[in-house]
Amino acid sequence: MARSFKTLLIIFLSFFVSCSSIPYIYETNDRYDSIPSRTDLRPADRAPLSPTKIAVAKRMPWETWPFGRDMQGLNLTSATMVQADEYLRNEQRTTALDLYKKALKTKLSPQESEALAIRTAGVELSLDKPSDALKTLSNYFKSSGKIVEDVDSRFSLLFAYSYGRNGDVEQSLAWFSRTNRLEAGRGGIAEASSRGLKMLLKSLSDQDFQKLDPAWNTDSFVSNLIGQERRRRSHLAYNPQPAKKIEPFWEEGIGFESHASIPQVRSGQLTNIGVLLPLSGKYSALGKNTLNGIKIAEKARGANSGVSLIAKDTKGDAVTAAVGARELLTVNSTAVFLGPLLAEPSAEVGRSLAGSGAPIISFSKKSDFAFARGMFRLGPTTESQVYSLVETVSRVLGIKSFALLYPQNELGIENATFFREAVRDNGATLLYDSAFYPNDTASFIKAANDIMQQNVEAVFIPDSIRNAAAFVTNIPESQRKNIRILGPASWDNTTQLNRSLALLHGAVFVSPFFVNSQRLIIKQFIDAYKGTYKKDPDFLAAQGFDAATLMFAAVDRAVADNVSVEAAIEGIDLYEGLTGQITVDPNGNLNRKFSVVEVTKKGLAEIIDAPSASISAEQEVPFYKVHEGVKLEPISY
């Protein structure tokens, strides 16, 4: 007998298991009951409570919360939760969980209590403690007086994975179904729900799979995936394996059903390259400039380039980007992708194309960007900017003693974290480390006095030019020449610098694309860009050029060496690009060393580092030419 979707769902959401396990509705206002505690809990292994270098976090599909923010996107005020997020960002989940539990004992706002509940339960599941995760969720919803209808898609997804890992398949299916319904089947959370359900079904033994309740035939989402799994098992090549009860069902991963249909790059065939950028809406100017740079790189290859660019407008929206990516893959047989530009669309596209084999070069600049397999990030991250600055002033200017004065806000804390690590990694010393509240320039008096008492050669102030200049006014003019002021890339603003030129003389900062560089390649690129678009290029245009050139080179190598494009990208040792020296690390980072400039009386001057042997030795690699004589430096493999 057919039943409504709501009737099918509610009984599973009540934490109640009937003897028959048939999904009938008994009460529609059931609240969350408590979950029995595990009797085999093991003590958590404690990691040192001092964060190491923040890495690119590899996040589980249910870890959907933003670092340092609550579920509404507002900054967390709980210092303990913020610290725990930093450990989680660095994949130190055991320590993060200890801190989340510590935060449970503090007074929190309703919004932070919600944020803490999903974090605690999510990390418990990531540490393979599904019963603990369910108990945490139950306690939260019971204490807050919420019912099933109050559960949003992010909590619903966590319930689904937790029940699946805890062995309650029917409950898990119900939560996966609810998640998909709440998201209308679109976006990253819906995609995570679909993938999770596929993996859960695939993990079942044939006997357990056949036991699935026939009532799921009335749920189009669940029944469709059950049908896919049934067809997979009926295939002649299917070899049933014993169900793996020890490993989590998500360990294997599924991604796309078959790699046989994935577009490959082959000699003599045109390679379609998908470009995902915001070409309309709020971020359209940024997207168009990036696309302009990509097109300049395409022209470099000439009429018989072997590649074809197909651009899709993401409108700056994550769902639109993911839909466009899937369309490019399935309809246009796109083999590789450039973009998206923003973090959320990039994450959605990564999840949407997971397992497709199509590599992606994203322009996201988020340091906590979660990578999918085959995704590479070229955005100007805070980490790459800070490391470029410290490495250059240490190696070229010989500075070995530093001070750090940063604003107590999200960006200031992020800059400070990477600066400490960069100083340490370059064998230098941090003699002074202090924060100030934004625009609290009165505190600069004490900070300046304290710094002058140390043997400090340079002070890093990751804040506005105006506040940096205000700090300098507290240093006697006779001593200013002894202390370098270091700043972030946001200082690359000639108009603002001119207002504080006297105070910031000798200051040093990162310039992701230094238009006044003496490097011939940059001058030629600017000429070619202006000749085509009748305006000066910006950083995004130059970055688009670099990304396209990297991808073109990888496609060429994939064809020549009969390897995947992903492997070809990973094989790039060094690329001397318009926006810096680019190398590839195993985590999918396209690491970049940016230009560093100094404020002089005559204007900005680039601080030139001595070239490394690996760069100067690559003399046999041919140049990649751009029309009107622009040349690209060699790409080294």
- The DSSP-derived string for 68-115 is TB-TTSPBP--HHHHHHHHHHHTT-HHHHHHHHHHHTTS---HHHHHH
Assigned domain for 133 exists: yes
Assigned domain for 544 exists: yes
Do 529 and 629 reside in the same domain of the chain? yes
Segment 460-473 mean pLDDT: 96
Nearest CA among 482, 463, 371, 472 for reference residue 419: 463
Model pLDDT, residue 261? 40
Q: What angle do CA 11, 13, 18 make, to 5 degrees?
A: 40
* pLDDT confidence band for 371 (50 / 70 / 90): low
Nearest CA among 601, 447, 578, 592 for reference residue 521: 578
Assigned domain for 234 exists: no
Model pLDDT, residue 69? 86
pLDDT tens digits for range 283-310 = 999 999 999 999 999 987 877 778 899 9
Do 91 and 145 reside in the same domain of the chain? yes
Q: Is 575 exposed, middle or buried (0-12, 13-18, 19+ CB in 10 A)?
A: buried
Q: What angle do CA 494, 545, 591 make, to 5 degrees?
A: 80
Assigned domain for 25 exists: no
Model pLDDT, residue 159? 94
Whose tokens are 């890339």? That residue is 489
pLDDT at residue 127 above 80? yes
Greatest extent of the chain over all pairs of C-alpha atoms, in Å: 89
Model pLDDT, residue 361? 95
> How many CB atoms are closer than 10 A to CB 568?
24
Segment 369-394 mean pLDDT: 87
What is the average pLDDT score of the chain?
80
Model pLDDT, residue 354? 78
Model pLDDT, residue 7? 26
Model pLDDT, residue 49? 30
CATH number of the domain encompassing residue 635: 3.40.50.2300
- Choose one of 511, 538, 571: the last residue of a domain: 511
Which of 80-84, 155-159, 287-291, 599-603 shows the lowest per-residue confidence on average (mean pLDDT)?
599-603
290 vs 210, higher pLDDT: 290
Domain total in the chain: 3
pLDDT tens digits for range 240-279 = 555 445 678 876 543 333 333 445 677 678 899 999 999 9
Model pLDDT, residue 588? 55
Name beta bridge partners: 624: 632
Do 350 and 289 reside in the same domain of the chain? yes
Query: Per the structure block, which two tokens stand in for 156?
Result: 């619903």
- Choose one of 511, 546, 578: the last residue of a domain: 511
Do 484 and 467 reside in the same domain of the chain? yes
Assigned domain for 255 exists: no
Do 436 and 545 reside in the same domain of the chain? no
Model pLDDT, residue 264? 60
Assigned domain for 112 exists: yes
Model pLDDT, residue 281? 95
Do 452 and 422 reside in the same domain of the chain? yes
Which of 206-210, 367-371, 620-624 shows the lowest per-residue confidence on average (mean pLDDT)?
620-624
Assigned domain for 487 exists: yes
Do 411 and 468 reside in the same domain of the chain? yes
Contacts of 150 by beta carbon, 8 Å cutoff, 6+ apart: 141
Look up the domain containing 478 and give its range: 383-511
Do 295 and 346 reside in the same domain of the chain? yes
Q: Where do the H-state alpha helices sit in 368-454?
A: 382-395, 410-425, 444-452
Model pLDDT, residue 369? 60
Do 286 and 339 reside in the same domain of the chain? yes
Assigned domain for 69 exists: yes
